[in-house]
Amino acid sequence: MGTLQTLDWLAICIYFCVLLAVAWWVVRKGKDEAADYFLAGRNLSWWIIGASIFASNIGSEHIVGLAGSGAKDGVAMAHYEFHAWCLLLLAWIFVPFYARSLVFTMPEFLERRFSTRSRYVLSIVSLVTFIVSKIAVGIFAGGVVFSTLLPELQVSLGGYVVDSFWIGSVLVIALTGLYTALGGMRAVAYNDAVQVTVLILGSALLTVYGLIKLGGWSELRAICGSDMFNLWKPLTPAGVESSWSPVLVKDAAGHLVKQAWYFNGQYPWLGMAICAPVIGMWYWCTDQYIVQRVLGAPNETVGRQGSIFAAVLKLFPVYLFIIPGLICFALAKSGKVPGLEVVYDPATGKATSHAQAAFPLMVQYLLPTGLRGIVVAGLLSALMGSLAGVFNACSTLFTIDIYTKLRPKASQHQIVRMGRIATAIMVVIAMAWIPVVRGATGLYNYLQTVQGYLAPPIFVVFFFGVFWKRLNAQGCFWAMVIGFLLGIFRMIVDTPVTLGLEQFKNGYSEGSLFWIVNNINFQYFSILITVVSAIVMILVSYATEAPHYDTIEGLTFGTTTREHRSATLASWSWREVATSAFVVAVILGGYLYFVG
């Protein structure tokens, strides 16, 4: 069994020393001002912006989940990772509006475009979403990594044995919260640049070493088979008989739970075609968690360049996180690495439930001493980068959108102090989540659907609001309220079943309203929320008075001036166009290559 040795611990210690050195340098350089604390003085460079966006996106749950998906289902989840094109929408469509508005938060932009009450609704929903999804899921996946790689790490406190899940989670949360609270966005962004370097290096080492051990790329394809390299499985009907069935069809046990066309048994092709892009555009173009880095750019040019660089980095996960999962499956099937055989079931020819731990298992059994430490440091980088991002985003949302509204005369020092206090509160909440996350059955999978229920109304008001100047504050407000109520209703219906509560182990009574709602695929329900939100926004807007266009000048395409358009045209060159074309070409190339 591959436990961490002296060289591994040395690599991890060097990683932490670098992080602490960067954090200390940032803290000494910082100013006691809101713009400096929350947006790094609006002086981030393009490569820092791109690296920080990527680091915030790639959490430990991302790595572990993608590798597990690769071992179990092949390259199918690459559909989500090829959403790098959404970052090009951020670069070319939204960056000009964000740069002109000089806002601190996405709810603040919504206030400029629509109304104050829309800002409050989005702020509160965003805070709740960050707490119940990003923080909880990140801790869960990080705990799984610690439990797998450091099972022997235990401490006895007052007669209670504290295992590696608790020790690792608490230490990482505390350290991440410390440098985030002290240094704000600048500390997050600069440490993200370090973490991305370690993360890509570690994951590349695992991929390359795994391929060498296996015998090369051709051997990987031969062992895994064409089906695992087929990205287009969503477009393959489950069968002629069911291809014209309604959305809900009977499974082998007679339960009405599955769709006519499948994506690995869970994701219908229509959901992948509509729901996944909607969630992608919400996440990459309008989520505070991601966009805050762009708001820290000094101008439109740097913001666009940073977003495009993030799109380039977003091309890596398919090959650095999903492919290692396939390598793990192939090594398990071939029996070349003792310890990995638990991933493969010879009786079925499929992956076992252990596949979800493919990445840490490969680190544990495949890598030699020294390299193992670098890859573990990469996993820690992913966990800390995503946690730092959510801590900073929550702090900014609460302080700028709520505290400064309640205390409009607060000094710059008071605002920064409240930002640090808010970060500390997020750390405490994260600590409190640890036992809940560890004890709840199916929580990780359930939380992955949260964004499918809460993202659609946000996507609608931002995208429709920028492209359609006639839409007004009333339409925005009611679209969000009704859309969020639909999403929360579905979450309330799902929760007792997902958590396996005693009286709901068999679900709801078949045929009841709650049973139907609970069994509709989450992507289809997300599409329903999107459509309803869009209809409400349009109908209410046209049933009420048109907005005063002079008050939203520069915030929609229809209200931009000649000066605005000239400034945007002058802000980019052939380099940005060429790099964007390269990203699109790589995505198209991936779709063409992974055809089984």
Per-residue confidence (pLDDT) for residue 446, from 0 to 100 = 60
* pLDDT tens per residue across span 40-55: 888 899 999 999 898 8
Lowest mean pLDDT among 107-111, 486-490, 498-502: 498-502
Mean pLDDT across 317-324: 88
Contact call for residues 509 and 515 (beta carbons, < 8 A): yes
Structure tokens belonging to residue 346: 């010879």
The count of C-alpha atoms lying within 13 angstroms of the C-alpha of 358, restricted to the half-sphere facing its C-beta, is 37
* pLDDT tens per residue across span 547-594: 999 999 999 999 999 999 999 999 999 999 999 999 999 999 988 888
Per-residue confidence (pLDDT) for residue 86, from 0 to 100 = 93
Residue ranges of the chain assigned to CATH 1.20.1730.10: 15-26+34-448+561-593
Per-residue confidence (pLDDT) for residue 262, from 0 to 100 = 39
Name the range with the highest mean pLDDT among 2-6, 112-116, 198-202, 427-431: 112-116
pTM higher than 0.75 for the full model? yes
Which one-letter DSSP state was computed for residue 45? Answer: -
Give the pLDDT band of residue 471 (cuts 50, 70, 90). very high
Burial of 326 (0-12, 13-18, 19+ CB in 10 A): buried
% of the chain exceeding 70 in pLDDT: 84
Question: Using CA atoms, how far apart are residues 475 and 446, in angstroms rounded to an integer?
Answer: 30
Strand partners, 155: 162
Which one-letter DSSP state was computed for residue 394? Answer: H
Q: What average pLDDT is seen over the chain?
A: 82
Mean pLDDT across 238-251: 37
- Those residues whose C-beta lies under 8 Å from the C-beta of residue 594, and which sit 6 or more positions away, are 75, 78, 229, 230, 231, 232
Q: Which helix (H) or strand (E) holds 350?
A: strand 350-351
- Those residues whose C-beta lies under 8 Å from the C-beta of residue 421, and which sit 6 or more positions away, are none
Chain centre distance of CA 526: 17
Contact call for residues 231 and 272 (beta carbons, < 8 A): no
Report in angstroms the alpha-carbon separations of 384 from 10, 61, 409, 581: 19, 11, 34, 32
Per-residue confidence (pLDDT) for residue 116, from 0 to 100 = 92
Answer left, alpha or beta for residue 442, where phi above 0 means left and psi between -120 and 50 means alpha.
Answer: left
- Check pLDDT > 90 for residue 16: no
- CATH class belonging to 15-26+34-448+561-593: mainly alpha
* Gap between the terminal Cα atoms of the chain: 34
Nearest one of 456, 397, 473, 471 to 110, comparing CA atoms: 473
Please give the backbone phi and psi of residue 259, each rounded to the nearest 5 degrees, phi first. Answer: -90, 165
Mean pLDDT across 127-152: 72
Query: CA 238, 242, 243, 248 torsion: positive or negative?
Result: negative
Helices (H), 314-370: 317, 323-334, 358-365
Query: HEC profile for 153-218?
Result: CCEEECCEEECHHHHHHHHHHHHHHHHHHHHHHHHHHHHHHHHHHHHHHHHHHHHHHHHHHHCCHH
Per-residue confidence (pLDDT) for residue 251, from 0 to 100 = 42
Per-residue confidence (pLDDT) for residue 583, from 0 to 100 = 96
- Check pLDDT > 60 for residue 412: yes
Nearest one of 102, 129, 67 to 449, comparing CA atoms: 129
Place of tokens 């009907």: 237
* pLDDT tens per residue across span 262-293: 344 456 667 777 888 898 899 899 999 899 99
Per-residue confidence (pLDDT) for residue 255, from 0 to 100 = 42
Cβ neighbours, 10 Å, residue 199: 29
Instruction: Tell how many helices (H) and how many strands (E) occur in the chain.
Output: 28, 6
Nearest one of 59, 2, 52, 353 to 209, comparing CA atoms: 2
Answer left, alpha or beta for residue 563, where phi above 0 means left and psi between -120 and 50 means alpha.
Answer: alpha
Query: CA 463, 465, 467, 472 torsion: positive or negative?
Result: positive
DSSP 3-state of 268: coil
